[in-house]
Amino acid sequence: MKQRNIALCIVLSVITCGIYGIYWFICVTDDTNQVSDRYTTSGAMAFVLSLITCGIYGIYWAYKMGECLDATRMEHGEPTGSLAIIFLILNLFGLSIITLALAQNELNKYDIL
């Protein structure tokens, strides 16, 4: 798992018209699966499913990523929040880049190789 600069990821996503955002989405999904030890859908498969369902799977993905990160917080003795609900609401309003940024912020706290 690689520590990523959130601001740089956002800028690259905007500059590349979302192409880097796709890569970031896949990496965040795979890293979340690795950190939480819950191997759900891989990053590439989550992207394909989001594409096929015109973004509907992306809303479900956001909720599941929030659940995984909350479970990881609990396993590390940190206070849990309601990341699943926050991610769900953000994606419902089309703010998935903020969801990615918040998920990356959580992932940057963990150092798993």
In angstroms, the CA 72 to CA 51 distance is 28
Question: Which is nearest to 32 in space by CA: 90, 91, 105?
Answer: 105
Judged against a pLDDT cut of 80, whether residue 39 lies above it is answered with no
The CA-atom distances, in angstroms, between 95 and each of 4, 33, 92 are 19, 22, 7
Structure confidence at residue 38 (pLDDT): 76
Rounded average pLDDT over 18-38: 92
Question: Which is nearest to 97 in space by CA: 68, 70, 58, 49?
Answer: 58
In angstroms, the CA 101 to CA 36 distance is 18
Rounded average pLDDT over 77-93: 92
Amino acid letter at 106?
Answer: E
Structure confidence at residue 30 (pLDDT): 93
Q: What's the pLDDT band for 112 if we cut at 50, 70, 90?
A: low
Tell me the pTM: 0.90
Rounded average pLDDT over 38-60: 92
Q: Provide the mean pLDDT of the chain.
A: 92
First to last CA, the chain: 6
Structure confidence at residue 37 (pLDDT): 81
Structure confidence at residue 66 (pLDDT): 93
Q: Are 84 and 70 in contact (CB under 8 A)?
A: yes
Structure confidence at residue 78 (pLDDT): 86
Q: What's the pLDDT band for 113 if we cut at 50, 70, 90?
A: low
